[in-house]
Amino acid sequence: MATTLETPVTLQCACPGCHCTVQADSPFCSEACAKGHPNGEPCHAGCGCEGHG
């Protein structure tokens, strides 16, 4: 019996100015992105986003 593994779908982070890819089940790469960086905090380390921080 063969099982098929679904390939995770990635898309552009929904945060304006970010250029990283995220999993389809979460449009933001981090909590900071989801909140629009209200305190100017950067995206989480290593996410590959640019334009914030």
For the stretch 24-51, pLDDT in tens is: 888 888 888 888 888 888 887 777 776 5
pLDDT tier for residue 23 given thresholds of 50, 70 and 90: confident
Asked if residue 52 has pLDDT above 60, the reply is no
10 Cβ neighbours under 8 A, 6+ residues apart:
21, 22, 23, 24
Q: Give the domains, in start order, of the chain with CATH numbers.
A: 9-53 (2.30.170.10)
Residues 53 and 50: their CA atoms lie apart, in Å, by: 8
- Mean pLDDT for 6-10 is 76
What's the whole-model pTM score?
Answer: 0.61
